[in-house]
Amino acid sequence: MITGEIYQSKIEKLTNLGLGLARIDGMVVFVDNACPEDIVKIKITKVNKNFANAKIEEILEPSPHRIKPFCPMQKICGSCQIQFIDYDYQLELKKDIVKETIQTIANLEMDIPKTIPSPDIKNYRHKIQYPVSQTKNSKRLLAGYYKPASHEIVNIKYCPIQPKICDDIIEFIREASQKYNITAYDEKKHQGELRHVLIRHSNYNQKCLITLVINNNTVSDIIKEFSHAIFNKFNEISGVCVNFNQKRSNIILGEQTECIVGDEFILEKICSKVFKIASETFFQVNPKSAENIFDYIKNFIKTNYKTPTILDAYSGISTIGICLSDIAKSVVTIEENKKSVKLAKESLKVNNIDNIEIHSGDAQEYFKNEKREFDIIILDPPRKGCTPDSLNYALKLCKGHIIYVSCNPATLARDLKYLKENNCNIQSIQPFDMFCHTYHIENVAIIKV
């Protein structure tokens, strides 16, 4: 097999990275923008030792599940990798990916139920993070997502997976940046001021929190004026903040944020509870799908326990713990992000909750030093999952069930394998569609200790 050669093949399945899988003379070939059951001509773009990459030259016979994407930018924007597949089939494919991942990595043969759909499949994304750049001649600001496998920005004027107000705000920022002589960050030269624009949008009251990430450690008068102009333009904006990030890295946010005008948070409502969310705190991008997850967890606990004690680890702003507080005897939450801890404590006051302890610190260290046992431990770690030590400590503290919430099937499978080897019973795994039209999958695993 040689780069540049063209072959005809049928796409067998979708991989966990959203690529179609074909085989040429027994060799696995990963194909961009391919749907299972497509019959295609593909052009080899790269040959590796054990696999190759390819792109579609011609669709000879489209899959019955292939549809026209509702966004005209789908192919060149790296955000919605599988929007060309009908939604019901997306849910089936995600279920299959979870099943295969769990079987391959954890050696677990399990019936995986159909992925629970998102209540909204358009305008569902309530957190937007746009990198920015600048044209060479006109110096106009570009803002959008990166093209796949590149750092070339697609200038997004309209994105149907986010609320329209976000498009309007970004367009105003593009236009006003010239008036205020705002320069965009050049990552190669490490020059220019504005690196990213972040928007948090509330599904609860439709308010927006804007955060300008700048390549500086102080706020200039121009940035202050620019922030006020953005704030004054839209009634929907609750506040404009500036985050300082001078690092040569792909990390979006720096460690310090300053509120320039308005509030430093927005309010969101889930499971009849109100939460304060800041720019640098974790919160699910799809609030309605998140509510489905929390209701699922709550229903399991109500069915199997009466006023349990609960430990909510990697808790962010204590969203899960707060949602479960009305069916629990007591809840303890642990989170290392200090701003999240601060906002979680404020949310307790907003919701008049008095049975939650909120702790700041590393989850593993907290597990190590905690002496109390809990009926239920909620684990909701980042994509990298849990360490073996964290899982060991959690097992010692848990006398009932571990409920593991994961956005990465591979690390979930790895951790479930470890728990299984330590005599746990993996009772169920339920996929949820948090990120419609992408290959990402959220899962909730119920584990009996």
User: What DSSP string describes 31-68?
Assistant: ETT--TT-EEEEEEEEE-SSEEEEEEEEEEE--TTB--
Angle between helices 409-421 and 87-106 (to 10 degrees): 40
The first and second tokens of residue 85, run together, are 């597949």
Counted residue by residue, the chain has a size of 449
407 catalytically annotated: yes
CA distance 358 to 355: 10
Calpha distance 192→226 (Å, rounded): 15
Q: Nearest CA to 90 among 363, 434, 445? A: 434
Question: With DSSP H G I counted as helix, E B as strand and the rest as coil, what are the percentages for the chain, rounded to 5?
Answer: 25, 35, 40
Q: Which of 77, 208, 407, 424 is catalytic?
A: 407
Lookup: tokens for 95: 């279920």
Per the listing, tokens 């004026």 go with 225
Going along 48-177, which residue ranges are E strands?
51-61, 127-134, 141-146, 153-155
Residue carrying structure tokens 């304060």: 276
Among residues 376, 385, 387, which one has the least CA distance to residue 405? Answer: 385
Catalytic residue numbers read: 407
